Structure 1
Amino acid sequence: MDKKEKVLEIIKRLDKRYPNVKTALNFNSALDLVVATILSAQTTDINVNKVTENLFKKYQTADDYANVSLTELENDIKSINFYKNKAKYIKNLAKKLIEEFNGQVPKTMNELVTLPGVGRKTANIVLWNVFGINEGIAVDTHVKRISKLLGLTENTDPDKIEQDLMEITPRKYWGKLSHLLIMLGREICKAKAPNHKICPLSDICPSSTT
Structure 2
Amino acid sequence: MLPRYGAACDAEIFAGKVLSNAGSGSDRSILAGINWAVSHRCRVISMSLGAPTKVGDTYSRVYETVAQRALEKGTLIVAAAGNSRPRPVNHPANCPSIMAVGAITPDFTVAPFSCIGINLDGGQVDIAAPGVDVYSSYKEPTGYRRLSGTSMATPHVAGVVALLAEAFPNEGPAELKLRLLSSAQHLPLPNTDVGVGLVQAP
Q: TM-score, length-normalised on structure 2?
A: 0.25
Higher helix share: 1
What is the TM-score when the length of structure 1 is the normalising length? 0.25
Rg larger in structure: 1
